[in-house]
Amino acid sequence: MKKITIFLMSLLTLGQTTMAQLQTGTNTAVANTDAGKVRGFIHNGIYTYKGIPYAEAKRFEAPHKPKPWQGVRSSLTYGPVAPLQTPTVAVQDESEFVYNHSFGYTNEDCLRVNVWTPGINDGKKRPILFWIHGGGFTSGSSQELPSTDGESLAKRGDVVVVSINHRLNVLGFLDLSAYGEKYKHSANVSILDIKAALEWVKTNIANFGGDAGNITIFGQSGGGAKVNTLMAMPSAKGLFHKAINESGSFRSTIKDKKYTQEVAAEVLNLLHVEAGEVDKLQTIPFQTLSDAGTQALKNVNAKANAGGTGLAASLSASWGPSLDGEDLPYQIASKEAYELSKDIPLMIGTVKNEFMASLFTNKSDANLEQVKAIIKMQQKDKADAYMAAVKKAYPKDTKPTDLMDVDAMFRPGAVRQANDKSALNAAPVYMYLFTWQSPVMDGKYKAVHCMELPFVFNNVERCQEMTGGGKEAIALAAKMSDAWINFARTGNPNHKGLPVWPKYDAAKTATMHFDNKCEVLPQLDKELFDLVAQ
């Protein structure tokens, strides 16, 4: 009987502990915003708010402040995500297991912000990490990957983590500026949405325990490209103070107004809408509009290619920012853009394997002869020099597929950006390369695109399907998340868990390699990049 009593008491204690981890209720986690009160929940000591409107907008028009609401708005679950250019109707079983997406539900009214904070109304001024999701400029959301949940990062660093949804694809970038004043900003409303979210943070984040004077924008892949875009946006100056670009320096130029207006004209043509009837586009069903937009991009690119202008070779049939002459007057990598953001400290890097050939060609088990044949097909007469350059850069690699899996698409842009920005001799630049190899699925996913995210957000255990969740991964996550936290706090990622991480310059090329053993090395892949650039 005594043993049963002790057992029951243990269960009761465990239940109380578990319940204490989550606090909810009518008067729990209530915070103020300039549009009204919001109610979140507290989990593991972190106040969490999801789906708060930061702005609203009519289709193709610039965002503005949301209408105020009465009472307390429940903010317990993620809000709607932007409609997708290509709806997800099927997934590959194994890779979906690894990435474990949460696609959410779509609605054009998708301008929502999420906040994780250790405290509200406590007088503290915590650094803010403002996350911008990937997916290029056409897809993705703040909730898409479990790795980017902000709770663990907020708790580890006593920081405020913010993430957002915003307009994408044709809704975010169709340039109707030729058809009237209200569409003046239509070519870049997606980026204006992000700016509006930063303005929301500036106005409201003190109510969530954050410091509006210390905001770090960070994003991965398309999110990193959006970070670069914001740094080239004059009206966004002063809304953030540091920047982190993860695998997002692949976009070297943005489209000009002549091109984007031609695409818009083709959209109208495909939909049989006259110029004077352009307002009809605001009510056409999204999928009809999206399909016309996709076809218009293809048509305009094909026309440019047929005309021998070379334009099509530099453009993809996809949406993105454009030089509208007002919101975005400069190319991302121009002297003017670098001058605009010269005082913004930058952390920049990529992962070793990104969109690796073996995975995306279903050749993970290829032997050495098969690998050589693939490289020969890709690199032609440069194949032998290519393999030699890979071996020189990574002499410890042993798998045959390692020869074709080293990224040469994302990292060259990151190196170029780091070289250009550090040459300004203004704000510091810190370069990293994530080389840790995931053990999942017998190691076939290596350091694939997005692999660093669970480590940055200290979520490797939440993302065991991607990381394995082992002790080595947990230890590396502590080192990486602390680096991101310290950078957000001070503009310097160094901490006692890492070897000294020097500022980057084009001469010494100091690069932090994140692996089970973290070490600073000079650029190892210069010969490889010089070769593929030929």
- Active-site positions read 221, 354, 449
Distance of CA 198 to the CA centre of its chain: 15
Alpha helices (H) in 123-221, listed in sequence order: 151-157, 169-173, 189-204
Residue 298 burial (CB count, 10 A):
14
Question: Do residues 295 and 318 touch, judged by C-beta distance below 8 A?
Answer: no
Q: What is the DSSP string of 291-337?
A: HHHHHHHHHHHHHHHHTT-STGGG--SS---EE-SSS--S-TTSHHH
Separation CA 512–CA 514 (nearest Å): 6
CA 509/CA 488 separation, integer angstroms: 22
Report the distance separating Cα 354 and Cα 412, nearest Å. 12
Burial class (CB in 10 A: 0-12, 13-18, 19+), 478: middle
Query: Which tokens belong to 274?
Result: 């006259």
Helices (H), 21-150: 93-99
**What's the N-to-C CA distance of the chain in angstroms?**
81
Contacts of 246 by beta carbon, 8 Å cutoff, 6+ apart: 218, 219, 220, 221, 223, 224, 348, 349, 350, 452, 453, 456
> Under DSSP, is residue 234 helix (H, G, I), strand (E, B) or coil?
helix
CA distances 4 to 7, 11, 13, 15, 519, Å, are: 5, 11, 14, 16, 54
Q: Which of 499, 525, 527 is nearest to 512 (CA)?
A: 499
Number of H helices, E strands in the chain: 19, 17
Residues 6 or more apart whose Cβ sits within 8 Å of residue 325: 257
Tokens of 99: 């990435």
